[in-house]
Amino acid sequence: MAMHWSEAGHSVAGKTFDELGGPDSILVRQRLDHAVLDRDRADELTADVESKHQEINDLLVQIDGASDDARTRAAVDRVCALIRADAREEEDVLLPRLLAELDPDALRRLGSAWQAARVAAPIRPHPRVSRRPPGNAVAGPFLAVWDRLRGAVAPRVRRRFGRFSH
């Protein structure tokens, strides 16, 4: 017996292929096409986010140790603008997508994984290190330790010897 469209619900995403009429059904074919488009959009979004983060890293390297001049102030202003835009995009685009796609348990697991990654991640920019696996996964923990050691030692060196640069 055929199901009336109003009984089918608004989304085919949660339905099995059999519920959608089998592998040759137009609904299955469209769902598969949409999954490819969603992956393409996700790849575009990832590339855009990575590009902005890389620009922030490059600017931070430029700022670190630079003199206080107009060019440095412009770089600081650009970093601040990029960070504000990144936060807005996360709040307006990325987080609502996660909320729509994941159940509460998956969101909690993702939150735990995110926190574990933050602990093991570097805290300073390292523009010469790959932003993608496996390079970032291999280098990240070592750089995280180095960054934290540097952060602990640098203030002592500055107090003892004045400003120190790397």
Handedness of CA 159, 161, 165, 166 (dihedral sign): negative
**Which pLDDT value is given to residue 129?**
79
As a whole number of angstroms, the distance between CA 56 and CA 125 comes to: 8
> Residue 156: CA atoms inside 13 Å, Cβ hemisphere, count?
5
Would you kindly state where each structural domain of the chain is located, as residue ranges? Answer: 13-101, 103-166
pLDDT tens string, the chain, 166 residues long: the values are 455 444 545 566 678 888 888 888 888 787 777 776 677 777 788 888 888 988 998 898 888 878 888 999 999 999 999 999 999 999 998 899 889 888 999 999 999 999 998 888 888 878 777 777 788 888 888 898 988 888 888 787 777 776 554 4
Which parts of 54-139 are beta strand (E)?
none
pTM score: 0.57
Decide if 59 contacts 51 (C-beta within 8 A): no
As a whole number of angstroms, the distance between CA 64 and CA 125 comes to: 10
Distances (CA, A) of 39 to 26, 87, 91, 102: 20, 22, 20, 16
As a whole number of angstroms, the distance between CA 97 and CA 91 comes to: 10
If you ran DSSP here, which 8-state letter would residue 7 be given? G
Nearest Cα residue to 19 out of 6, 32, 35, 2: 2
As a whole number of angstroms, the distance between CA 88 and CA 61 comes to: 24
As a whole number of angstroms, the distance between CA 92 and CA 100 comes to: 13
